[in-house]
């Protein structure tokens, strides 16, 4: 099935493939003419919204240059290197722990806590496969279409009090952060867990994908500082997700995302798909 979908992704026109993917993952037809839910509007966004800056902000290396030019260099995690191929990486020169990422897609990460336990041969094979992958075709996420495939290596980060890294993901609409997803559990066999808040710090009873992956966590002490920073960084896009880390009260930039989960992961309960969709006002008239 995976091979079939990869072949299908290459031959179907963008609109038809997005409609097929939505039907496959949500079990219902995609309303592109008058999208109402958040995930429907993400599909419209992928197909019809074009801003060249989106490519820069989605590139995990070029976004660093953008932030430095905007005087936000203080937010950047330490960079050990940028590489055109896995062969360029000298493992001996890297510290004991680090993170390797592909610049041109999502979920292309190697999180190394201790390189003594790392199967470097397997990692090189994986990174070579990443560099041969055109991530755009997997979900027709336009912002990734023209990103130059590279690898970067950054400092390994961890919230010591949780023994892992906590993600703070701000959903921002038209220049305003409206919702915060706190995510953790990347090493948990049970999957990622979520705690969701509005911008007044009130908890929103929603989670991603399935019920039961709620995260019992209070809003962070740096909530207001992170909210203000997300508002500074998000620009005037109809939607952008601003991801941050907060480690010992120091704020660190993670990434920008325009299409969370490619719009194929449901919210539970589903009413929040409409709730978040109401914030997401698409520009102009929708297209049939």
Kindly report the backbone phi and psi dihedral angles of residue 30, in degrees, each rounded to the nearest multiple of 5, phi listed first: -85, 130
Span between the terminal Cα atoms of the chain, in Å? 29
Residues lower than pLDDT 70 in the chain: 1-2, 5, 186-190, 209-213, 285-288
* Residue range 238-266, pLDDT digits in tens: 999 999 999 999 999 999 999 999 999 99
**pLDDT tens by residue, 41-56:** 999 999 999 999 999 9
CA distance 102 to 59: 9
Hey, is 252 helix, strand or coil? Answer: strand
What the block records as the tokens of 37 is: 């839910």
Which domains are assigned to the chain?
31-76+161-281 (3.30.470), 78-156 (no CATH)
Q: Choose among 165, 160, 91, 57: nearest CA to 100.
A: 91
**Of 202, 209, 148, nearest to 180 (Cα)?**
202
pTM of the model: 0.94
Residue with tokens 């896995």: 86
Q: What is the mean pLDDT of the chain?
A: 93
Summarize pLDDT for 136-175 with one digit per residue, the tens: 999 999 999 999 999 999 999 999 888 889 999 999 999 9
């Amino acid at each position: 099935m995976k091979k079939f979908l990869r072949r299908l992704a290459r031959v179907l026109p963008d609109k038809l493939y997005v409609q097929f993917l939505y039907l496959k993952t949500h079990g219902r037809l995609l309303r592109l003419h008058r999208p109402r839910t958040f995930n429907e509007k993400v599909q419209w966004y992928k197909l019809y919204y074009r801003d060249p800056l989106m490519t820069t902000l989605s590139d995990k290396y070029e976004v660093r240059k953008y932030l430095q030019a905007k005087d936000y260099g203080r937010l950047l995690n330490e960079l050990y290197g940028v590489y055109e191929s896995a062969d360029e990486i000298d493992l001996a020169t890297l510290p004991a722990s680090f993170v390797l990422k592909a610049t041109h897609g999502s979920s292309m990460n190697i999180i190394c806590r201790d390189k003594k336990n790392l199967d470097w041969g397997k990692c090189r094979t994986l990174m070579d496969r990443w560099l041969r992958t055109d991530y755009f075709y997997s979900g027709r996420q336009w912002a990734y279409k023209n990103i130059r495939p590279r690898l970067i290596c950054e400092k390994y980060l961890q919230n010591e009090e949780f023994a892992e890294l906590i993600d703070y993901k701000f959903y921002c609409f038209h220049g305003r952060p409206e919702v915060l997803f706190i995510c953790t559990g990347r090493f948990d066999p049970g999957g990622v867990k979520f705690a969701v808040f509005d911008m007044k710090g009130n908890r929103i009873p929603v989670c991603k994908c399935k019920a039961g992956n709620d995260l019992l966590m209070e809003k962070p002490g740096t909530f207001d500082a992170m909210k203000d920073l997300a508002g500074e960084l998000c620009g005037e896009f109809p939607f952008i997700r601003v991801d941050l880390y907060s480690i010992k009260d120091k704020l660190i930039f993670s990434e920008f995302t325009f299409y969370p989960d490619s719009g194929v992961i449901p919210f539970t309960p589903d009413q929040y798909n409409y709730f978040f969709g109401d914030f997401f006002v698409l520009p102009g008239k929708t297209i049939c």
